[in-house]
Structure 1
Amino acid sequence: MIQHPPFLQTDDLIIIVSPSGVVQEDLVRGGAEILQGAGFTVEFAPHVFSKHFKFAGTNQQRLSDLQYALDHSNAKAIYCARGGFGITHILDHIDWTLFKQNPKWIIGYSDITALHHAAYLTGFTSIHTSVLQGLSELSIENQQAILGALKGHSIKMSAKSNFNKSGESTGELVGGNLSLLVHQIGTGSDIDYSGKILFIEEVGEPLYHVDRMLLQLARAGKLKGLKGLLVGEFFQMTETKELFGASVEEIIFQHCSIYDFPIGFNFPVGHGEQNWPLVHGANVQLKVSGNSAQLNYLS
């Protein structure tokens, strides 16, 4: 049974970790100031600003910081400073024993998708939204939605697209970055999508990569049991429809049209200017009618 960690209150401690790529310090500190301005206490793990080639420290340094945060007896949330690449180097070495006794909200997206999956398999929801490095670059409204999600405020999200496939369904909300979803197949952090509502987003990929990844999900049987599909932003694709022959929406629709589940496109989630919070693992309702789609939380 999936559980929510306790929602945050004023003065609660958030630990900042960098489990993946090397960070931009000024943006991370700017994000921390937003958390402090909302009334939270912030602690930087020892190696947040470390550098080891592309990574925010060695594998051992990043694992040590993440384990410290997971085990912390007083922290209520763990905010990942950046995605990029690196979480899967350390994911299988995490000890979740103390986290289960004192669960915390894990926050981030992109490469952090794999960590969301691991938390879900451990039995807990988490928050898929901007990493701390990107928080200060979001609109005030978007920032407030993220801070509200940490406090347990109700989240509603809607989107419009002419590519929608109408229908209504309920299920647990899982997913994340499309590349990371594909990379989890066959590993210990792979999730069974059956009976669930999947959300996807992506950045900086050629359209043929998107096609190949959707095809891989289909061939692996990951799409056939879905209850619904929520499509976020596919940002800065590096190949045009004129070159490949189909848009992102058309690629997704081609791979999913044989199934009965509803599809809602264009949700404000991903690497673009908007990155609204999604509670990974929560029980939700997806309603798609014509060009309008709405996501509602049931618990």
Structure 2
Amino acid sequence: MKNIVFPKNLKKGDQIAIISPAGFVEEASLQSTINLIKSKGYETILGKNTLGKFENGYNYSGTEKERIQDLNWAFNNPEISAIWASRGGYGCQHLLRHLKLSEFRQNPKWYIGYSDNTVINSYLLKNNFASIHGQTVKTASFGVSEGSYEDIFKILEGKKIYYSVEKHQLNKNGKTEGELIGGNLALIYALLGTPYSFDFKDKILFIEDIGENFYALDRMLISLDLAGVFRKIKGLIIGGMTNMGDEKENKNYEEPFDEFAYEIIAQRIKKYNFPTLFGFPNGHIFDNRPLIIGSKVKMEVEEKGLVKIL
């Protein structure tokens, strides 16, 4: 396995940049987490276009040029110790060809985000840097658990993270270790066949998603299967699957772990024997616990599912 670079631990007084690489965000929706960051002893600085707005079929925080300027500024500014995405949405793929890591390589820093930010997690890992797939600065309409943020600060401060997940009837028992990859399934799917796709060989894959029709979920899983992903991985962790299908027809629409979505996943991986853990607390859900993309994890699926970041 290639040597993955893990950014140094933060210390009190360090500066965390807040940027918006995708969707438009209102200032009020950031304030709660900004206050939390400051209460932990860190400083915050907003990118020039963090609170911008550019309408082009979607409400972006800025033009592609403006968004990449903010991202490259945050990556390569030596006075910044971590980068926290304000939100996801859509737009991070626009930036991949223009990301620069010149100064970042000399001074690696944690990048924190999920959802659309999965493509930036993947980009960093392709360049051998770990990052955090975790809650954005913006708090979702359904709220965010205190632990979702507390575990991020634990990672930033160099503390180990360990998760114990209740047994699920669709789990496949087994033990494995490997490098953790993944994030939002729609973005993993969107990167297939590109230079920015994850390398799946001998990895433990994590997936989560929101707002997909059941046929679209199945289509993405089929594409992963046709691309050989499930033949390559050593384990699979499934997180939140929420707001799936038709709101009027799906009784589990608001549930964090949609039962029918889980059944579809189980059907598509039935012929494979890798350990599989359903119900992991990460995704577009209230209790969105962070994972380190690029970390070595130990996965044990028996009576309970255990995930330990080594």
| 1:191-210 aligned within 5 A | 191-210=198-217
Measure how far apart 1:142 and its partner are: 2.6
Instruction: Tell whether the 8 Å contact from 2:88 to 2:114 is kept in structure 1 after alignment.
Output: yes
Q: Distance in 1 between matches of 2:26 and 2:174?
A: 42
Residue 162 of structure 2 contacts residue 307 of structure 2 at CA under 8 Å; is this kept in 1? yes
* Rounded Cα–Cα distance in structure 1 between residues aligned with 2:20 and 2:160: 28
Which of 291, 295, 299 does residue 278 from structure 1 map onto? 291
- My pick for the range that moved more, 191-200 or 251-260, is 251-260
Indicate if the aligned counterparts of 1:100 and 1:122 stay in contact, CA closer than 8 A: no
Which residue is 1:25 aligned to? 27
Larger relative helix fraction: 1
Cα-to-partner distance string for 1:30-72 (whole Å, 9 max, x where unaligned)? 2111111111111111110000011001111100000000011
| Unmatched 5+ stretches in structure 1 | none
- Among candidates 79, 89, 92, match of residue 94 of structure 2: 89
Residue 266 of structure 1: how far off its partner (Å): 0.3
Q: Distance in 2 between matches of 1:8 and 1:223?
A: 36
Q: Which runs of 5+ in 2 are unaligned?
A: 252-258
261-270 or 187-196, which deviates more? 187-196
Partners of 2:149 and 2:184 in 1: CA distance: 20
Question: Equivalent residue of 1:96, what SS?
Answer: coil
Matched, 1:144 2:150: yes
Residue range with higher mean Cα deviation, 169-178 or 94-103: 94-103
Q: 1:226 aligns with which of 230, 233, 237?
A: 233
Distance 1:256 1:293 in 2: 18
The answer to whether the 8 Å contact 1:31/1:135 transfers is no
The residue type equivalent to 2:189 in the other structure is V
Partner in structure 2 of residue 61 of structure 1: 66
Q: Is the partner of 1:217 in helix, strand or coil?
A: helix
Q: CA deviation at 1:152?
A: 1.4
Are the counterparts in 1 of residues 135 and 148 from structure 2 also a CA contact under 8 Å?
Answer: no
Q: Is the 8 A contact 1:170 1:284 kept in 2?
A: yes
Residue 160 of structure 2 aligns with which residue? 154
Aligned pairs (5 A) from 1:178-217: 178-217=185-224
Q: Give 2:105's aligned residue.
A: 100
| 1:105-124: CA deviation from partner (whole Å, max 9, x where unpaired) | 00000000000000101111
Q: Is the CA contact 2:145–2:288 (under 8 Å) kept in the aligned structure 1?
A: no
In structure 1, the partner of 2:309 is 297
Q: CA shift at 1:149, angstroms? A: 1.6
- State TM-score, norm by structure 1: 0.95
Aligned residue type for 1:283: K
Q: Distance in 2 between matches of 1:142 and 1:282?
A: 18
The whole-number CA distance in structure 1 between the counterparts of 2:121 and 2:136 is 13
Contact map agreement 1:262 1:288 (CA 8 A) in 2: yes
Does the 8 Å contact 1:14/1:76 carry over to 2?
yes
What is aligned with 1:75?
80
Contact 1:31 1:132 (8 Å CA) reproduced: yes
Structure 1 Cα separation of the partners of residues 163 and 63 of structure 2: 38
Report the Cα offset of residue 241 of structure 1: 6.9
Aligned residue identity for 1:82: R
User: 1:241 and 1:165 mapped to 2: Cα distance?
Assistant: 26
Q: Is the CA contact 1:197–1:230 (under 8 Å) kept in the aligned structure 2?
A: yes
Match of 2:170 among 148, 152, 163: 163
Match of 2:309, as an amino acid? Answer: Y
How far the C-alpha of 1:141 sits from its partner, in A, is 2.7
Q: Please state whether the residue corresponding to 1:35 is helix, strand or coil.
A: helix
Give the alignment partner of residue 50 of structure 2, picking from 45, 48, 51.
48
Contact 1:202-1:271 within 8 A present in 2 as well:
yes
Name the count of aligned residue pairs: 294
* Distance in 1 separating the partners of 2:236 and 2:290: 16
1:238 aligns with 2:250: no
